[in-house]
Homo-oligomer: A and B are copies of this chain.
Amino acid sequence: MTSPEAREEAVLEAVRKRREQVNDAIPEELPIKRPERLYEASRYLLDAGGKRLRPTVLLTTAEALTDVDPLSADYRSFDPVDGSGPVDMMAAAVSVEVIQSFTLIHDDIMDDDDLRRGVPAVHKEYDLETAILAGDTLYSKAFEIMLETGAESDRIVDALDVLATTCTDICEGQSLDVTFEERADVSPDEYLEMVEQKTAVLYAASACLPAILLGADDETIEELYGYGLDIGRAFQIRDDVLDLTVPSEQLGKQRGSDLVENKQTLITVHAREQGVDVENLVDTDDVEAVTEAEIDDAVAELEASGSIAYADETATDLVERGKRRLEVLPDNEARDLLCELADYLIERGY
C-alpha cells in the first residue's frame, strides 16, 4: 500500500507531464494571427494556466484503450488497435481544453467575475465585446481542431456530435444554474443534474472521445462517458466542500464565499432539506465584510446537519462508481492512473 500522499504525488506528476505537452500544443493549434487582438484575447486564459485535467483524462484514456505504456506513445500520431490510420489525439485533447476555456470566458461575463486563474477575467483585461468574440472564436476553433484528428470520417462525425451535444448541455446547465439562484427549493437531485450538465459532461466527453476516435465498441464508449460524468460531478462537489474547509490563503479567495454569495451547492441544498436556514447562515452578502468566525459558525451548523458529510459521501460514491466503470478497459498502468485521477479529484486539498 502506498500512502495517500505518495499516490497524490504520482497523479500530480502524471498530470504535470501531460500538461507540459498540452501547453506546447495549444499555440500550435491556436496561433496568434490577424486580427491579433482577437487571438490574443482568445489565448489569454489558456496561457494563464490551468491543471489541464480534462486533456489528461482524454490522453490517459487513449493510452488505456490501446494498452500502451503511459507517456510512451506520440499523442500526435496515435495508433488505433484496429490498424486504421494514426489519430492526432493531442488535437482532440486541445479541442476539449479550448471548449473549457470558451465556457469560462463567457461564464465570467455572465457571473461578472473579475478574476480567473489569478489574472483578470478576459472581459476585464480586454472588454466585453472582445471577450464575447474571443469565446465565440474558441467555440468554432474547437470544432476546427477536432476536425483535424485524421480519424476515419464516421468516427469524426460521432466525435463532433459528442462535442456539439456537450456544448449544448453546458449552456443548458449554466442556464439552470442561473435559475437556481432565484429558487429556495432546489433538491439535491436537481442540483446534481445541473452539475452534470454544466461541469461533468466535458469530463464525460474527454473520457469517451478517444474511444470514439479509435473505433472502440459502444459499451466501452458508454462506460467511459459514465466514468467522466461520475468523476466530473465528484470534482464539483469536492470544490463545494473545499470552499468551506480550506483556509482563504490557500484557496486564493475568501473561504465560504459560496455561502456569502448565496450560491447553491450540494451542501446547502441538503442543509435546507434538513431545516437549516441556509440564506441566513451568514448575515452579510459582501465577501469583503465577512469574518472567519462567522464562516466557522456556518460550517459548524452545516456539519451538525450532516450536510458536509453528505456531500463527501456523495462524491466518494460517484468516484467509486466511476472507477468500477473502468473495468471495461484492459488492465494496465494507464487504467490504474485513471482510477488514481478519480481518487485525486476528491482527495485533493485544494
- Which residues of A does B touch, CB under 8 Å? 34-35, 37-38, 106, 109-110, 128-130, 132-133, 135-137, 139-141, 143-144, 147, 152-154, 156-157, 160-161, 163-165, 167-168, 171-172, 174-176, 178-179
Contact = CB atoms under 8 A, between A and B. Distances in A.
A213 to B, nearest CB: 13
Contacts of A137: 168, 171-172
A133 B174 contact: yes
Contact of A160 (B136, B160, B174): B160
Nearest to A42: B171
A141 B154 contact: no
18 contacts: A37-B179, A38-B172, A38-B175, A109-B128, A129-B178, A132-B132, A133-B171, A133-B178, A136-B167, A140-B164, A143-B143, A143-B160, A143-B163, A144-B164, A147-B164, A153-B156, A157-B157, A157-B160
Contacts of A153: 152-154, 156-157
Contacts of A172: 34-35, 38, 137
Contacts of A38: 171-172, 175
A142 to B, nearest CB: 8
A154 B178 CA distance: 39
Given A37-B179, A110-B133, A160 B140 contact: no
A35 B140 contact: no
Nearest to A194: B35
A171 B140 contact: yes
A124 B48 CA distance: 33
Nearest to A110: B129
A172 B144 CA distance: 15
A136 B35 contact: no
A143 B164 contact: yes
Contacts of A174: 133
Contacts of A167: 136, 139-140, 143
A106 B157 contact: no
